[in-house]
Every structure is written in C-alpha cells, then in structure tokens.
Structure 1
Amino acid sequence: MKGDLEIDHKGLIREAYRIEGITAPECRSIFLDWALSLPEAEDNGAALRLLIDRYGSAAPDHPMTQVLTEGLAQAGRPRRRGGWRARPRD
C-alpha cells in the first residue's frame, strides 16, 4: 500500500487540514486540484480511503474529511462515458 506522501505528493490535503477556519468550498477546490493531479492509473477509492484514515480519523468534523468522504462515495459509482466514446461503432 502506498504511503500518504505518494498519494498526496503535493501535500494539498495535509495542508488543508492545517488551515485554521478553512471552509467546505475551499476544501472542495483543494480536493479538485488533488484529484486532477492523481495519476490516471491510480485507484481513486484506495487513495481516498488512505487519506481519510491518515487525516480524517483525527479530525472527523473537519470540512476536508466531509469532502473526502463525499469523494469516496462518488468514486465507487460507474462513470458515464459521453461523446464519441459512447457512440456505437459500425
């Protein structure tokens, strides 16, 4: 299993937990930046579980914990593929 430094290589999630008075919208913005920087082959669900275990368990009421938990709930849902990939091939 990867360590939190490999999953949060920019330290975005770690720093979000250190910001006094951070709000949920700010946490969502940080989460989006983190998610976009995650390698495509990375298992999003596993990465989120690792971050929740590392940071969220110590701060269950922190807005970033809520954002990570919501992200984990979304990670398990199948994604709809739109555009040309969704069209049947002849």
Structure 2
Amino acid sequence: MDLKLADPKGLLRESYRIEGIGAVECRSIFLDWALSLAPGTDQTAAMRVVLTSYGADAGHPMSQVLAEGLTRAETPPARRGGRAGRMSV
C-alpha cells in the first residue's frame, strides 16, 4: 500500500511533528484519520504502512496508539454470552 493512500490528509504525519502531544490527542487524530480513509481501504495495512514510515520513535504516543490498534485489529472478537451467543448468525 502506498503511503499516500494510507495517510491521505497527512493527519498522522502531522501528529508526529506536534511537540508535547499526548495519548488523548493522538486517539482523537487517529479517529479522524480512520474516518478519512477511502471506503474499502484496509485499515490494518494502512496502520502498518504509517507505523513503518513515521513510527521510528516507538515512545511517541501516536506510535503507541497505532500499535494498540494493530493489536486489537488482530484479536478476534470474543464470544457473546446469553441469547445472542446461542443464536446462529
């Protein structure tokens, strides 16, 4: 995937340039970024491209948010309990 497709508005690139940015602001920017992706874009692949391109500083809050997003994206959803868990889809 091309970096231009992975970060079309440059939101994540700019987040790495903001001095003193915190995790809360990074999560807000991440949400804006996710909503700005073109329909059908593989978000997991886009996160990997961005993290590889911009995330050299593993201690940066945005790198941590992206790594957390990748971890959660790869974890399968848990089984639902109760009636919803017993009903076939």
* TM-score bracket relative to the smaller structure: 0.7 to 0.9
In structure 1, what is the equivalent of residue 70 of structure 2? 72
In structure 2, what is the equivalent of residue 8 of structure 1? 7
**Deviation of the 1:43 alpha carbon:** 1.1
Structure 2 residue runs without a partner (length 5+): 79-83
Alignment: residue pair count: 82
Partner of 2:65, secondary structure, is: helix
In structure 2, what is the equivalent of residue 43 of structure 1? 42
For each residue in 1:44-77, what CA deviation from the matched residue of structure 2 results, as whole angstroms up to 9, or x when unmatched?
A: 1111111111111x21110000000011112224
Q: TM-score scaled by structure 1?
A: 0.79
AA in 2 matched with 1:63: P
Distance in 1 of aligned mates of 2:46 and 2:2 = 9
In structure 1, what is the equivalent of residue 30 of structure 2? 31
Distance in 1 of aligned mates of 2:46 and 2:67 = 12
> Alignment identity in percent?
55
Q: TM-score scaled by structure 2?
A: 0.80
AA in 2 matched with 1:19: I
